[in-house]
A and B are shown apart, each in its own frame.
Chain A
Amino acid sequence: DSGVTQTPKHLITATGQRVTLRCSPRSGDLSVYWYQQSLDQGLQFLIQYYNGEERAKGNILERFSAQQFPDLHSELNLSSLELGDSALYFCASSAGTAEKLFFGSGTQLSVL
């Protein structure tokens, strides 16, 4: 158990809908990262937050947004969903930017 909690584990929705994925980092970790992994593909970095502020941005679509709250949990919002958004979404946390990442078990999103 990495200590990073992601909910829900599975999410099935329709095209055009909006969903919210939630992540609780390990106790004490200030950095939260979001990654997308499509079937048989590598991890694609979406966005990183550090202590509530956006630290780095990857190839995140404009339809996607995220935030980190004062209690350090984070949410990833995906809107106007398309079939191609179906993927495994991972959250990771670390104590700092030079520390190793601990990954959650992921949210499997299926857009039908």
Chain B
Amino acid sequence: KNQVEQSPQSLIILEGKNCTLQCNYTVSPFSNLRWYKQDTGRGPVSLTIMTFSENTKSNGRYTATLDADTKQSSLHITASQLSDSASYICVVSASSNYQLIWGAGTKLIIKP
């Protein structure tokens, strides 16, 4: 069964600190992996998309990594800011049926 699991479920860190969010998936056949940021009550916003051949992609202070062999991805946030408080969602696309499998998200809270 195609699944995407994220950890931790929630995370609280101090402003200025770094953090890493994890995503494990069992989607096959794999097409691409995406990270989205969702502020409360708003639509998700795309951070990165990575295909099978890409193992790192950055977007400002956000860096995503992908290990297609172990089917793991991580999202690293550097020098966190209060505005980084949001849910971060990992989404994996299956190439067989265009289906997007959404993780439950990690809720990140940045404290001053």
Which residues of A (67-97) have their CB < 8 Å from a CB of B?
Answer: 88, 90, 92, 97
- Residues of A in contact (CB 8 Å), total 21
Interface residues of A (CB under 8 A from B): 2, 4, 33, 42-43, 45, 48, 55-56, 88, 90, 92, 97-98, 100-106
In the complex, are the beta carbons of B43 and A104 less than 8 A apart? yes
Q: Which of B14-22, B70-78, B91-99 contacts A (4 or more CB under 8 A)?
A: B91-99
| B98 A92 Cβ-Cβ under 8 A | no
Interface size (B, Cβ < 8 Å)? 21
Residues of B within 8 A of A (CB): 31-32, 34, 36, 41-46, 49, 89, 93, 97-100, 102-105
Q: Please indicate the chain B residues that have their CB under 8 angstroms from the CB of A102 in the complex.
A: 46
Q: Are A42 and B42 in contact (CB under 8 A)?
A: no
Q: What are 17 residue pairs bridging A and B, where the CB atoms are less than 8 Å apart in the complex?
A: A4-B43, A42-B103, A42-B105, A43-B102, A45-B102, A97-B98, A98-B31, A100-B34, A100-B46, A101-B36, A101-B46, A101-B100, A102-B46, A105-B42, A105-B43, A106-B41, A106-B42
